[in-house]
Structure 1
Amino acid sequence: MGFSEKQEALVNSSWESFKQNIPQYSVLFYTFILEKAPAVKDLFSFLKDTAGIQDSPKLQAHAEKVFGLVRDSAIQLRAKGEVVLGDTTLSVIHVQKGVIDPHFVVVKEALLKTIKEATGDKWSEELNTAWEVAYDELATAIKKAMN
């Protein structure tokens, strides 16, 4: 069973909800990450000075990229049945930063919590599962390229 048209539509519509307020949801996303794993703060250069994270363009751009990559993964899963990284830059950066498996778990949890907040009463287990599958496939592709 592949990634369904409905799952792709759920990810796309909730991506739009996220984009409605990128500044707020970006801060929320990194707040969730740091609550779960405070030590990862050093992996993100834009989190070194936490005083300015509310208005950090780098933080917002990075969060938008993360969520966008998961959305793109949903599109790839529907079209091709798999996620293929366009280039190795993403995996190289993860290796350089020392990203390990538990980091992927923390990011996934934060991503799902953020999407739940962004979608409000439109959130459902089905929507959660669609994002979870898309994220897991992206994470698998990144980890594969890291090795």
Structure 2
Amino acid sequence: MFSFLKNFDGIPHNNSTLEAHAELIFEMTRDSAVQLRQKGKVDVADDVTLEYLGSVHVQKGVIDLHFKVFKEAMLSTIKKAVEEKWSEELGCAWAIAYDELAAAIKKAMGW
């Protein structure tokens, strides 16, 4: 799924590249939620353009399934992290924010 794990077998533990990528996606999803609430639409951070994100995802061969798999993994991770604070409303909010971000990236990919 991730090009930097291409030659890796097993569960990637303590992989700094993977951790940095996951953190970036989490931050962008969080920012998307804030933007949706404030502006009703998603923009990316000033230091990254949608065109760039789209081109990188095309270059790396990202397919729709990758977005779906990551979304489920992210939601599961958040659910475990917040434990008793988890609710359907919270899960829905994160899912909507991720879906909007993913849709913007897919559009930039030419889908």
TM-score (norm 1): 0.66
Give the corresponding residue for 1:19.
Answer: none
Displacement of 1:53 in angstroms is: 3.0
1:34 aligns with none
Higher relative helix content: 1
Contact 1:46-1:58 within 8 A present in 2 as well? no
Q: How does 1:78-97 map to 2 (within 5 A)?
A: 78-86=37-45, 87=49, 88-97=51-60
Counterpart among 26, 44, 58 of residue 67 in structure 1: 26
Structure 1's consecutive aligned runs of 4 or more residues displaced over 2 angstroms after TM superposition are: 46-53
The number of residue pairs the alignment matches comes to 106
Alpha-carbon displacement from aligned partner over 1:94-122 (angstroms, at most 9, x marks no partner):
11011121221111111111111111111
Instruction: Note the C-alpha offset of 1:77.
Output: 0.6
What is the CA-CA distance between 1:46 and the residue it aligns to? 4.1
The reply on whether 1:55 has 2:4 as its aligned counterpart is no
Q: CA RMSD in A?
A: 1.8
43, 52, 65: which is aligned to 1:102?
A: 65
Identical aligned residues as a percent? 53
After TM superposition, list the pairs within 5 Å mapping 1:1-147 onto structure 2: 40=1, 43-46=2-5, 48-50=7-9, 53-86=12-45, 87=49, 88-147=51-110
Q: Which moved more, 1:105-114 or 1:53-62?
A: 53-62
User: Structure 1 residues 53 and 102 mapped into 2: Cα distance closer, same or farther (>3 Å)?
Assistant: closer
Distance apart, 1:85 and its partner CA: 3.1
Unmatched 5+ residue regions in structure 1?
1-39
Hey, what's the Cα distance between the residues in 2 that align with 1:57 and 1:136? 25
The secondary structure found in structure 2 opposite 1:55 is: coil
SS at match of 2:43: coil
